[in-house]
């Protein structure tokens, strides 16, 4: 499948409320517990949390949703993922550190992640900060420096489960509606039959459809979908 470089997007940002819970209710309740009341640093000592699951299970969506929820409360957070080659030093103003893609961190990223973890959980000043990490592998299988790997397993560990086909259809419908895009059952059947069925790839395809339909001012049909994918 070819990907278009789009300059138009109406996709809403990640939020916890827009995450389709499915079999992951306990995890979502846990995340809401820490970010939902705005009292992350005032009422209790946060427990490190690690999420793991296959590509497309929603890990990055959840970490970004947590980041935005905390920012909306006026909080500062540290963020690191595989595309952050030189993460900054730990900042005492952060209330949490969020680390995505930990399973593929470089040695430098691993060293920085360990430093963030230590400073967050045993800070020189102030109360402990929340650590939220995510990767594709369970803690025991992470090929990381041992001191970082073991710390990622210190607290709560949740596996994210992939959604079944009815749930994926529900998510596609929900996300299309949020963009103001109508997906017929025929188009949805075609998407699920012809393309990668993991949720991340389906969301990427929906973003492409959204932008292409806006620029062409045409309804989304199977012929349009085929034309879009043939366009560089």
pLDDT digits 0-9 by tens, 57-95 = 889 999 999 999 999 999 999 999 999 999 999 999 999
Burial of 1 by CB count in 10 Å (0-12 exposed, 13-18 middle, 19+ buried)? exposed
Nearest CA to 162 out of 136, 190, 140 is that of: 136
pLDDT-derived band at 172 (thresholds 50, 70, 90) equals confident
**Which burial class, exposed, middle or buried, applies to 73 when counting CB atoms under 10 A from its CB (0-12, 13-18, 19+)?**
middle
Q: Each residue of 134-167: pLDDT tens digit? A: 999 999 999 999 999 999 999 999 999 887 888 8
* Structure tokens given for 86: 């030189």
pLDDT, the chain, mean? 83
The conformation of residue 98, written as its DSSP 8-state character, comes to: E
Q: Which residue has the higher pLDDT, 46 or 151?
A: 151
Confidence (pLDDT) at 39: 52
Mean pLDDT of 200-226: 70
């Amino acid at each position: 499948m070819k990907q278009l470089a789009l300059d138009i997007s109406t996709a809403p940002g990640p939020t916890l409320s827009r995450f389709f819970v499915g079999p992951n209710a306990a995890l979502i309740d846990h995340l809401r517990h820490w970010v939902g009341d705005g009292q992350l640093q005032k009422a209790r000592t946060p427990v490190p949390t690690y999420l793991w699951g296959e590509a497309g299970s929603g890990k990055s969506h959840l970490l970004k949703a947590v980041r935005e929820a905390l920012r909306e409360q006026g909080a500062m957070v540290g963020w690191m993922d595989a595309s952050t080659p030189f993460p900054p030093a730990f900042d005492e103003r952060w209330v949490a550190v969020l680390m995505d893609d930990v399973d593929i961190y470089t040695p430098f990223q691993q060293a920085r992640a360990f430093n963030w973890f230590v400073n967050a959980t045993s800070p020189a000043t102030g109360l402990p900060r929340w650590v939220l990490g995510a990767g594709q592998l369970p803690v025991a299988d992470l090929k990381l420096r041992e001191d970082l790997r073991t710390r990622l397993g210190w607290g709560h560990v949740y596996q994210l489960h992939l959604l079944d086909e009815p749930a994926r259809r529900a998510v596609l419908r929900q996300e299309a509606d949020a963009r103001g895009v109508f997906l017929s059952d025929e188009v949805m059947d075609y998407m699920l039959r012809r393309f990668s069925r993991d949720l991340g790839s389906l969301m990427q395809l929906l973003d492409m459809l959204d932008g292409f339909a806006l620029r062409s001012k045409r309804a989304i049909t199977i012929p349009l979908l085929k034309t879009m994918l043939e366009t560089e």
